[in-house]
Amino acid sequence: MPLFGNSFSPKKTPPRKWASLSNLHLLDRPTREVELGLEYGTPTMNLAGQSLKFENGHWVSGAGGFVGDRRELQRLRKRNQQLEEENNLLRLKVDILLDMLSETTAESHLMEKELEELKHHSRKKK
């Protein structure tokens, strides 16, 4: 039994009041769009003088296609492919090194354990 009573006894919170006193939530969707101005259109932005629109979950150029040099696009795709292959090779090397490290660590622990056992047996013989 605590000396000064229960120190953690939170009071019950009062029920919340109605979130909105507006009756706009009772209107149908087209009326709400007119009243609240919910018709935004497609999101657009300008980057480096190029207009981009967000359509069907992807950003596309405002002109409808890629505005730029096709050779540059092909060079960038080739470079991207090379970097992905290099990244995969480096991940493989890291995995191999981690396996080698864990194997060496396990062998080291076994050798330390054997050494401790030999020290223990040599002390008993004396």
- Greater confidence (53 vs 111) lies with 111
Q: Round to whole Å and give the CA distance between 29 and 24.
A: 10
Domain segments of the chain: what residues?
25-64, 66-125
Q: Round to whole Å and give the CA distance between 43 and 41.
A: 7
pLDDT-derived band of residue 49, with 50, 70 and 90 as boundaries? confident
Cβ atoms 45, 52 nearer than 8 A: yes
Q: Round to whole Å and give the CA distance between 90 and 84.
A: 10
Supply the pTM of this predicted model: 0.42
pLDDT-derived band of residue 48, with 50, 70 and 90 as boundaries? confident
Q: pLDDT (tens digit, 9 = 90+) per residue, 64-122?
A: 555 557 788 889 999 999 999 999 999 999 999 999 999 999 999 999 999 999 999 88
